[in-house]
Structures are given as structure tokens and as C-alpha cells.
Structure 1
Amino acid sequence: MIKKSLITPFNTKYNTAPFSKIENKDYLPTFKQAIKIAKSEIDTIITNPENPSFENTIEALDFSGEQLDRISSIFFNLNSAETNEIIQKIAQEVSPLLSEFSNDITLNEALFKRVKAVYDSKNKLNLTTEQQTLLDKKYKSFSRNGANLAEDKKLKLREIDKQLSQLKLKFGENVLAETNKFEMLITKASDLSGLPDGAKEAAKQLAESKDKKGWLFTLDYPSYIPFVTYADSRELRKKITLAAGSKAFKNDALDNQEHVLTIVKLRHERANLLGYKTHAHFVLEERMAETPEKVLEFSNELLEKAKPAAEREFKNLENFAKSLDDIDRLEKWDGAYYSEKLKQKLFSLDDELLKPYFKLEHVINGAFTVANKLFDLNFEEINDIDTYHEDVLTYKVTDANGNLVSIFYADFFPRAGKRNGAWMTSYKPQYIKNGENSRPHISIICNFTKPTKSKPSLLTFNEVTTLFHEFGHALHGMLANTTYPSLSGTSVYWDFVELPSQVLENWCYEKEALELFATHYETGKVIPMDLVEKIKESATFHEGMQTLRQLSFGLLDMSWHGCESPETIKSVKVYETEVFKNTTLYPETKETCMSTAFSHIFQGGYSSGYYSYKWAEVLDADAFEYFKEKGIFNKEVANKFKDNVLSQGGTDNPMTLYKRFRGQEPKPEALLRRAGLLKN
């Protein structure tokens, strides 16, 4: 028995997701019914007696399956932000059904015939740029995913996709279970030496919540990061660092080594089946970077600039640790600790000094104020729409004329059912249909320190930039103004999607922006300007090491997915160690392995795409230089960015959109200047 309300437009305010009305038992039957309805819509397109046209084939295809998309977004977002064993079990049942349905569409000969007929006549159709983009995208979604394969190969493709959908889920489940499993209970106050009061209070509160005496630390970032950054006990830093680095790498029931090898082999096999040399070649065909060769050239060019700086910084850090504590060899569990001490020495700056100025509520309002000054957006907290957890805040977003722009959800604190990290997602896309501009429902999810009995949630500066980063993604979703849902918001090339998020981080370093929200949570005083200057001065601290680290992750991703013979890889650890050989600074630790918990590329959508963070940094540094030239709240530049980037989604080639905004292609020198790797 299914709930009819879940397969029709929701009878809710703003058509928002009815979270509290959905029971776990509703999902599977609802998915099956929604797939059935979507198949019926596809059949209507195929059996249309009229000749294939853009409207009756391409447009109809893009608007099909709306309720399936809605229920999928609700379910899989909850599987990331508020999961449990029942939801995970349903995900394992549902994913193969969705994979099969996706294959049913792309491998449907009659449907492809209609799509191809429209595509072959595109030069006679007088289409808009957006319509041309949609037509190209639809045609490629068939041609790149098996429509031209022989029947036996189509069956093989279906089997591969089914396996991959389940393996990716299992990979993520294991990482979450490993994160939740580790607990480090400290019972001696002396072992807390060096830790800030806020971290100790949060740990005590967490222990009490689990009926334990002492201080409890976990692998959730708000618990883990302060510990490795401030705890004087080198042994305990080592213990928690090795626990974080060995997630799903213990040869037990939660181990991901075989999953990594199988995912990589299946992706390679799939790419070969479709006529591509590797998975990376398949993916990058639809990216700004275009080929693995270009990604490697770009990465190695940055590596050449960053590595000497990183080695100098590391040597300097080693010498500092030696002089301070007679440390002979700097290990992974020493990096954050001595970096923080060195930063304090060089800049008289540490996060504990800054945190009182970054109360979560103030930072949220700061992000809203920046969005208002740039894009005329207004945010009103509302309490009359449903949420999936009591921590989730909800906002109505309007423009200067009071028109609805978006519904916005914000979920900030860690919990057992929520994976680590921070991300933006959508519960409903924006699109224009029958003359109505249907507005999006956007969400950001983070893992910040929870309020304690004596203090509100106070953010580290890194958490401030994280919030602005995800809010930048959210603005990309909120300000979408396209006709078709598949081209809307963040539906852009993966190496372009990080531009709006990364560019917004820049405002966190600017006096003019910080004055809007960085006020002391007790006194109300604005952050002193000497602290603002120190934030700016320290912005490039250890930039060489940070760049090297980020490049190493991208190169690991490209190595896994650009490998032409993955079946010969027998050991995840041995392979990874070899790849890291040219970018590693710290001594190797046999207990740790990054790949087994590298969720971005093995569970999320970043396979062959992790380089895009650095790629987008080139764009964002160049873009922000434009803002700096004209003023960081200059309306003319902000409107250009909104009209040519944020509102356009994937309606045109990303470089075309960027050049419309900037008037030129991005110059990498802007990034190198900002990183301190190139002098002005």
C-alpha cells in the first residue's frame, strides 16, 4: 500500500517535503509506483504518433519522472544526513531498481530513435542556446551510456551499473559505521592538557549523554580537529589520528579494500564497454578539462610551483618542533599541533582567540547579509514547514520585491546518522513550466561544534569558510533561473561547480565583510582590526603544504580512474603509497589508508573530478580579483556574476559563461599570487 500523497505534488506549504508524514515502510512501495509512473511517461513519448520534435521528445523527457526525482532526493539526502539501519537496507534495495530504470531509459531503442531524429535535424530547428544545450545533453546521455551497444553488451552494462550502485552505498555505510564506532574516553584530567575549555566541555557533555564518566572524543570533526590541533599528549594524538586514517582499513566486516578494487575495475570495464580508454577519459569528455592528460598537465604545473614551497614549510615546521619539544621526526599526528603553535608564534593568532567572534548564528546572518548586499536576497526564518530533525533550520528566501526565490534548509551539527563533512544538496530543482517559475528547495549540511551548557556554537575560522563555501553552492541553487530542471542550479560541469562556493570564501578575509558579522558573542564588540589583519596575513600560512595535499588527493583520484589495467592492482595500500610518493611529506604509516574512506570519489560524484577543487580555485581567484578591483560589494560586478554564472546553471559552456562575466579567460597567476606562490 502506498501513500498517494507521495507520488503526487505534495499538499504542503511551498510544496516542501512532508518529512514527518513519511514512514520508512513507505519508501519502497513509493519508489516502485513512482518508477511505474515515470515509465508510463516515457511510453507516452515513444508512442506519440506525431513526428519527433524538440517539444514532444526532448522537453517531455526532461520533465518526466518529477515525483520519482522528488522522492529520490528526499530519501538519499536522508541517507546522508539522518540515516539508520532500516534506511540503509532500503537504499540497498532501491538503488538497483533506480539503476535498472536509468538503463531502461538510456538503452531504450525506440526512445533513442526519437531523440536521434531530433538531434540529427537540430540545425533546422532554430533552438535557443539553452535548448541546444539540452538537446546535446540528452543525446549524449544515450550515446555515452550504451544506446549504440549490441544487445549482449547492453546486458553487461546493466549488470555493471547494478553492482556499482550497491557497492557505492556499501562503501559509504562502512565509512559511517567506522566513524561512529571509534570512541576515546579520557578519565584523567592531565590527558586534556592543551585543549581549549570549549573542547573539554563538549567532550564532557558527550560522555554524559552516553552515561560515561570523563571526556569522550570521536572522529566527528568538531571533536577530532580540536584534539589533534591542541592536545599536548602525543600518544593520544597518535591514537585518534591512526583511528581516523584507518577507517574501513582493518580487514574486518567494515573493510573497504575489496570495494575500492571492485569499484575501480567495474568503472574501467564500463568505460571500455562504451569505447573509452579509461573511466577518467569517459568522465572528462564532459568537463572543462576535457582529458586526463590536461588534468595531469594542470596538476603537475601547480605541483611544480607548490612542492618547493611545501618542502621549505615542512622543514621549517620540523625545526620548530625540534626546538620546542625535541621532536626528532615529525609524524602525521604532529602536523596540526605544531602548525597551530607556529601560527600562534608568527601571527599571535589562534582559533581560540577568534572563536568568540564567530558565533554560529552571527556567521549565518553574516552570510545572509553578504548575499543581500551582493544579490538583494532576504532571508526570513520560518517554522511552518516540515523538517527531518529538530536541529534543521528553515528559511524563506525572497528578492527585493518580496517574490519567493527559494526555500532554504540548514543542518549544522553532527549526530550518529549523519556522515562527516559538509555539503549542499537540493530537495527540489528550479524550472519554468507552463509559464510558472517553480522555485528550488536548497539545503546545506555541516558538522560544527554544538552549543554546550555554558557556550553557544562558536566556529573556528576554518568552519566559517566552510559555511560560506557551502552557502556559495546554495546561492548557485537558489538563484537558478533556467527553463529545464536538468540544466538548473548546480547542474553544471563538475569542474565549474566549485566556482560559486570557493569564490564566496574570499569575503571571510575582508574587513568590509567581517565587520558585518564578526562580533564578540558576550560583549557585542566588532572583531578588532588587528585580528582581521592577522587573519589576512595568515591566509597563506603553509599554503604550499595545503596545495600539495590537495593536489595529492586529485592525483590519487586520477591514478585510480585513469589506470588502464586496474585488474593488475592487488593491494590498495601498496598502490596508494606509490601514487603518493611524489607528494608525501610525513613518514608513511602502515596502519592508515586514504582510499578506503575517500568517499568523494568512491561514494559521491567526484570520481575523476577531485582535481576540480584546484581547477575552480583558478577561476575563483581570478573572479575575486575582479571584485577587488571594483569593490567587494560592487553591484555591477555582483549582477554580472549573478546573471552570467549563478542564474545560468548548465545552459551554456562554462568558459563561455565565465568570459561573459569576466570579459576574459581566467588567469592562473591570480591563484598563485593569492597563495603566495607568485610575488606581485
Structure 2
Amino acid sequence: MKQKEIALAGAAGAAIAIATKLLLSSLKSSSSSRDGLREEGIHIRVKQSASEILKQADRMIALSQSVHDAVAAVPLDEVSYETVIAPLANLEAEEFAVVQGCVFPSLVAVSKDVRNASAEAEKKIDAHNVKCSMREDVYLVVKAYAAKKETLSPQAQRFVDRLIRDYERLGMNLNADTRRKVEFLKTTIGELCIEFQQNMNEENRRLYFTEEELAGLPKNFIQDLKTGKDNKLEVTLKYPHYFPIMERCKVGATRQAVAVAYDQRCMNENVSILEKVVALRHAMAQLLGYRNHAEYAIAIRMAKSPSKVKEFLESISKRISVLAAKELTKLRAMKKAEEGNDLFGMADLRYYIRKAEEEEFKVDYETVKQYFPMAVVTAGLLQIYQDLLGLKFKEVPNPQVWHPEVQLYSVSDSETGERMGYFYLDLYPRDGKYTHACVCSLQPGCVQKDGHRQLPVAAMLANFSKPTKEKPSLLGHTEVETYFHEFGHVMHHICSRASFAKFSGLRVEDDFVEAPSQMLENWCLESDSLKLMSGFYKDTKQSLPDDICQALMQKRRAFAGLLTKRQILFGLFDQSIHMRDKAETGAILKELVPKVMEGIPMLEGTNFSASFGHMTGGYDAAYYGYLWSEVFSADMFEAKFKGNVLSKSAGREYREKVLAPGACKDAAVILRDFLGREPTEEAFLRKYEAGEGMQDNK
């Protein structure tokens, strides 16, 4: 729908309109000229100084304030789409990239001063957004327009409905005292969540071991380690060190030390922060008429209620318990045979699963890594996505980026040549950078007020092993899966064709957002696609051998019981803390870990919730969504792609029916449109049929 220019009522409104245009012009000119961007359509500033970030945040807040003031000034008997709804929709589209230019550096900037300024800017912007979302004068004007019941396009009507819903979920239909309390709580929660994430990003603990204490690690891994104090080898808790040690180190004491340190990250700071956040969320939910935060959060997701989530998690847990117990018995026997000790702990899980898989499938994962050099994986991954979705990627030469290692690509439709968006790849770890893998929406795809389409921009962040002078970055198979999964989120954002920023790309329900990317992980378990993104690092023309492809394909069901139990553990912990007024996270974990993990105890002296970033990063009471959405991902894959993962017709249908709608439709409708029927759990449950001892959950 082409949106009209903002029409403001009265002389005061006209003055505000002029000020708004001047502010917006200032924001846009500084975005383009100061960064020297040459690519048309990118509005986000990805490289700013600390002072520029804070100034930009202040300018954006001023612009937002002026638009909200203008909407509030419209007399209730003169409300119209052009004076009330369009300004708010346009503001959301205009401000998104500017805001991201202020807050994104906290995750990626090299300079600690810039990261701190970005975190400070995010707190200011969040506090402002809370105030705007709780303006009674704006709410009443929007409500007055909605009451007119004008005929609108489906997306426009959905936008109006969501405005009302979002206002009322913050208590705008309640008394003033309640609203003031909600505003205080929401602002405080936002500040604490930013602090939690900042502590995680700045975590930089080092451990030191002799070469003997790292027995089992490949020679090239040992050679790449720095020498630290007492001439011992320095190990960080970043992914490129943590996972190889947990999977390959033969020395149980070393694995234990690293596992404990990993689950102790930020304990001193973040445990108390998370527990405060949990208490504040509960208080806010009760003010808004809900029994707890889980009930409040899940009400607008696919699951609708905590009872449905609890039933789902416990059902899957019960169904796979016999399988998980059988797997654990095997791993315990392996540990006793190798280490003479049958006391099996969480620090042993990855090591013995890897060992068992290598023995069962006759595959050495270190050999497998040699077939996944970063350049080959990236080229193959990009080619698969291009062919599957009907796209064309082109690397932008000499882009304006926040770090020299970052790459920028443009995306076009392969048939029409239409420019569809851009994405950044930031794939290697560094101090101060976000420590996990994620995709950030930097600019939404939507229709602007002049009728032109704003291009979506995304950034993928990861922490894969860096290349060295002797060898390129080599990815483990699970890292290839992570890469493929996260890039699926990039495509979801880029391929979205929503008219409103509110419905762009990844703004679908929290318990569906993972499904499209989870579905695409299957490409890492099929021979045709594996060969396209593999090549021996010394001779990249040698793709992954057939026997290794077969082993990796068979591996998909290996230890599915225990690995799914870990997901259930995280989901149940998340639900548990968000269904109570306060949470002693350590005590909850101490009880929950052995209960879910078939008797494996929590690591003594740890509390992994201190580094469980999902709890403060938007997945609160939503972690179940990973397993929940896996049900739908399995159904989509089996229905459309099984046996032909390179089908262009199925890929194009997937792009048009699953990715393109963004959040313009409910996830249930998107699934029905794609499948041609209601989704079922059958494909998901078949993943476990290979395991003996499956229980009929009746």
C-alpha cells in the first residue's frame, strides 16, 4: 500500500512537521556523507565514534518525540489514517536503521569506549521508547481512529490492531497509577538486560594448561595457542577454544576445569541481575492482570499458554527418556573403560558423544573439518541459497564496515534483477564482540512514505576459528550447521516483502522464528548439498567423500535423546523462573539438571543462567520455541524437500509462502499456506523412531 505524506493538524502541527523534516534530513545526510557509503539504500551508520553515537541517539529521540507530539495533537473528531496511523508507521520505518546504528556497536565495535557509548545510547533510547509506548494521549488518538472502523488493506488493519494490542499489553487501558508503575518496571528491566549482555560481551577470562593437560587436541590447535604465565598455554572461553576442548581433550580434569569456568562466566554480576529481572517481570505481569510473566509473554505466541508449553516439553521429555537413558548408559561405560571412573558429569557429555559417534560411524571429525574451509563453505552456502531461493548475491568491494574482516553483499532477484537488500558477514571472534552466533536486523524492508521500498539490511555475527598463516579457518560439521542456520535468518529478513516495518522479516511469533532456519539445517545432512559446500583445504576440488557424507547423514539421529534433553532443560528452566515471583536460579538448576538429564548433576559451583543470554535477549519464556518450532521445520522439510533438497520450484515456493510474508500473517496461517494442510508432529517424531525404547506418551 502506498502511504501518503504525513498531514498534521493545525499551526502547531505544521511547525512540528517542519522540525521533523529538518531532523530527519540531518539524520539522513549524516548517515550517508559521514560514512561515505556508496551503496544505495543503506541508511544505517555502521562506524561511529562514541560521541557521534550519543548525539545520534539524542537526535533520534527528538525526532520520535516530535512525531508522537504531532499525533497526540490531532483532535479526536478529526482523526484519520494520514494524521494518526501513517506518521507512526513512517517513524518506525525511518528510525529503525538510525537506532540500530546507535545500539548495534555494543555487539561488534573494537573500541570499548564505543561499546560503552552504544550501551548507554541503548538505555536512553529504550527508556524513551517505553515512555512513547505508554503515552495516553497518543493511545487515545489511535483508539479513536480504530473506532471509526474504516476499510483498510489487510496489512494496514493488522498494523492498527497491533498498535492497540501493544498499547494495552502495557496497561494503557488501566488507571494512571498502574501505568506509571509499569513504565518504571519496563524501563528498569530494559536497563538491567543491557547490563547483563554487556557483561557477557566483556567477559575475557583465561585458563592455562600444559600441553600434557590438553592431550587429545590436534597439533594445529596446540600450535595456535598463545603461551601465557608459567609457560603454560592460554585458553579462552570463546567458542573456538571451548568446543574443541570439550569434544577432544582426553584429560577429564581439564574438561572439568573448562566446563566449570564456562558455566561460571559472569556469575558475580549476572546472577543477581537475572534474578532482579525475573522479579520485576513478575511484578509487571501481575499489574497487567496476568498470573506470571510466562502467561503474559506466551499469550501472543503460537502456544498461547504456559500450560500448553509445559505439556509439550514434558511430553517430549517423557517420550525420549528411555532412549536418553540408554545413550547415557553407553557413555558411562565408555568413560569407565577410558578413565577408570564411572562418575559421569556434564563435562563429559560432548567428549564421549563425539567419541561414540566417531566409533559408530567410522568418521574422524578432525578429518571432516579439513573438508570445510571457510571460503569453500561460504561459497557453497551462498550458491545453494541463491539457487534455492532464486536470488543473486554480489560482494560489495571496499565496503564501509566496523571491522576489516567484515564482508558486505548485495542481494537481487535472479530473474528480475530487482535489488532486494544487503547483508554483512562478521564471522570471527574478537575481544568485546558478541560471544555467540546471531543475526541482527539493521534496517527493515518496508514501504516508505514516498511509496518507494526501503531495502532490508541484516548482519550475521559468529565466532568461528580464525585462519592462520599455515591454514585457513576450518569448520566442524556442527559449525557448518550453525552457519547454515543463521544464514537462514538472514534470508528470512531479506526475502520479507512486508509493507510495514512492524511486520518485517524476523518479527514473526517468537516460537516460530526459528522454524525457517531449522528447516534449512537439513541441507547440512544431505549428500548433494554437502558436496557443494565442501572441499579438502589443500585441494578444494576434492569434495567430501561419499562415506563421510553417509556418516554425517546417519549422524542426525545419534544421541538425539540426550541432546534433546539439553534443549528441554533450557526450556523448562526458562519456564520455571518465569512462572514465579522470584527465582533462586542456582537452587532451581541444582534440582532441575539431574531430573531432566537422567541423573547427571549440575557442575558444582556453577550457574549457567549467568551467561544464558536468551533470558535477557528477547527469548524470556520463549526458549521452548527452539524445540516447538523444530516440529514445524521437520514437517515443512519432509513435505516439500525430502529427496530433493536442491529443488528450485520448492525453494521458490518456500521463499514466497514462508519467507516473504514476514509477520504479515500469523505463523499458523503461513504454515497452512505452505503445507496445504494443518501441520502435524509426525515428521518430528519420526526423527526418534531409530531409537529403541520410545514410550507411547498416553
Is the TM-score greater than 0.5?
yes
Deviation at 1:101, TM superposition (A): 1.9
Q: What residue number does 1:167 align with?
A: 192
Q: What is the DSSP-based 3-state SS (H/G/I as helix, E as strand, rest coil) of the residue aligned with 1:442?
A: strand
* 1:72 counterpart = 2:99: yes
* 1:444 counterpart = 2:460: yes
Deviation at 1:46, TM superposition (A): 2.5
Alpha-carbon distance in 2 for matches of 1:184, 1:300: 38
Q: What residue number does 2:300 align with?
A: 286
Deviation at 1:677, TM superposition (A): 5.9
Deviation at 1:21, TM superposition (A): 5.6
Match of 1:334 among 348, 355, 362: 348
| Contact map agreement 2:630 2:684 (CA 8 A) in 1 | yes
Q: What residue number does 1:515 align with?
A: 531
* 1:229 counterpart = 2:229: no
* 1:612 counterpart = 2:617: no
Instruction: Give, as a single letter, the amino acid of the residue that structure 1 aligns with 2:451.
Output: G
* 1:502 counterpart = 2:518: yes
Among the aligned pairs, what percent are the same residue? Answer: 28
Q: What residue number does 1:415 align with?
A: 430
Q: What residue number does 1:480 align with?
A: 496
Alpha-carbon distance in 2 for matches of 1:453, 1:197: 15
* 1:368 counterpart = 2:400: no
1:360-396 CA distances to partner (integer Å, 9 max, x unpaired)?
Answer: 1111112211112211111111124210011111111
| Contact map agreement 2:28 2:43 (CA 8 A) in 1 | no
Q: What is the DSSP-based 3-state SS (H/G/I as helix, E as strand, rest coil) of the residue aligned with 1:427?
A: strand
Deviation at 1:121, TM superposition (A): 3.5
Instruction: Give, as a single letter, the amino acid of the residue that structure 1 aligns with 2:187.
Output: K
Instruction: Give, as a single letter, the amino acid of the residue that structure 2 aligns with 1:317.
Output: L
CA gap 1:341/1:290 in 2 versus in 1, 3 angstroms: same
Computed over aligned residues only, the root mean square deviation of the Cα atoms, in angstroms, reads: 2.2
Q: What residue number does 2:113 align with?
A: 86
Match of 2:258 among 214, 220, 240: 240
Q: What residue number does 1:256 align with?
A: 270
Instruction: Give, as a single letter, the amino acid of the residue that structure 2 aligns with 1:162.
Output: T
Alpha-carbon distance in 2 for matches of 1:631, 1:619: 19
Match of 2:289 among 269, 275, 286: 275
Q: What residue number does 1:654 align with?
A: 667
Alpha-carbon distance in 2 for matches of 1:363, 1:236: 31
Instruction: Give, as a single letter, the amino acid of the residue that structure 2 aligns with 1:41.
Output: V
Deviation at 1:544, TM superposition (A): 0.2
Q: What residue number does 1:546 align with?
A: 563
Deviation at 1:91, TM superposition (A): 4.6
Alpha-carbon distance in 2 for matches of 1:330, 1:412: 34
* 1:130 counterpart = 2:155: yes
Deviation at 1:304, TM superposition (A): 1.2
1:219-240 CA distances to partner (integer Å, 9 max, x unpaired)?
Answer: 0011111012111222221111
Q: What residue number does 2:678 align with?
A: 665
| Contact map agreement 1:7 1:30 (CA 8 A) in 2 | no
Which moved further from structure 2: 666-675 or 258-267? 666-675
Alpha-carbon distance in 2 for matches of 1:75, 1:518: 38
Which moved further from structure 2: 17-26 or 583-592? 17-26
Q: What is the DSSP-based 3-state SS (H/G/I as helix, E as strand, rest coil) of the residue aligned with 2:291?
A: coil
Q: Which runs of 5+ in 1 are unaligned?
A: none
| Contact map agreement 2:54 2:102 (CA 8 A) in 1 | no
Alpha-carbon distance in 2 for matches of 1:163, 1:315: 47
Q: What residue number does 2:18 align with?
A: none
Instruction: Give, as a single letter, the amino acid of the residue that structure 2 aligns with 1:168.
Output: C
Q: What residue number does 1:177 align with?
A: 202
Instruction: Give, as a single letter, the amino acid of the residue that structure 2 aligns with 1:532.
Output: C
Instruction: Give, as a single letter, the amino acid of the residue that structure 2 aligns with 1:238.
Output: Q
Q: What is the DSSP-based 3-state SS (H/G/I as helix, E as strand, rest coil) of the residue aligned with 2:673?
A: helix
| Contact map agreement 2:100 2:442 (CA 8 A) in 1 | yes
CA gap 1:487/1:613 in 2 versus in 1, 3 angstroms: same
1:492-548 CA distances to partner (integer Å, 9 max, x unpaired)?
Answer: 111111011111111111111112121112122121111110001111111100101
| Contact map agreement 1:355 1:459 (CA 8 A) in 2 | yes
CA gap 1:163/1:88 in 2 versus in 1, 3 angstroms: farther
Q: What residue number does 2:578 align with?
A: 561
Q: What residue number does 1:23 align with?
A: 49
Deviation at 1:405, TM superposition (A): 1.4
CA gap 1:425/1:626 in 2 versus in 1, 3 angstroms: same
| Contact map agreement 2:107 2:201 (CA 8 A) in 1 | no
Deviation at 1:549, TM superposition (A): 0.5
Q: What residue number does 1:580 align with?
A: 593
Instruction: Give, as a single letter, the amino acid of the residue that structure 1 aligns with 2:547.
Output: D
* 1:191 counterpart = 2:213: yes
* 1:344 counterpart = 2:358: yes
| Contact map agreement 1:442 1:477 (CA 8 A) in 2 | yes
Deviation at 1:263, TM superposition (A): 0.4
Q: What residue number does 1:468 align with?
A: 484
| Contact map agreement 1:19 1:387 (CA 8 A) in 2 | no
Q: What is the DSSP-based 3-state SS (H/G/I as helix, E as strand, rest coil) of the residue aligned with 2:246?
A: helix
1:28-85 CA distances to partner (integer Å, 9 max, x unpaired)?
Answer: 2221121111111122222235732334322321211555422321232221223654
Alpha-carbon distance in 2 for matches of 1:438, 1:384: 23
Deviation at 1:606, TM superposition (A): 0.1
Q: What is the DSSP-based 3-state SS (H/G/I as helix, E as strand, rest coil) of the residue aligned with 1:342?
A: helix
* 1:112 counterpart = 2:124: no
Alpha-carbon distance in 1 for matches of 2:527, 2:578: 42
Q: What is the DSSP-based 3-state SS (H/G/I as helix, E as strand, rest coil) of the residue aligned with 1:391?
A: coil
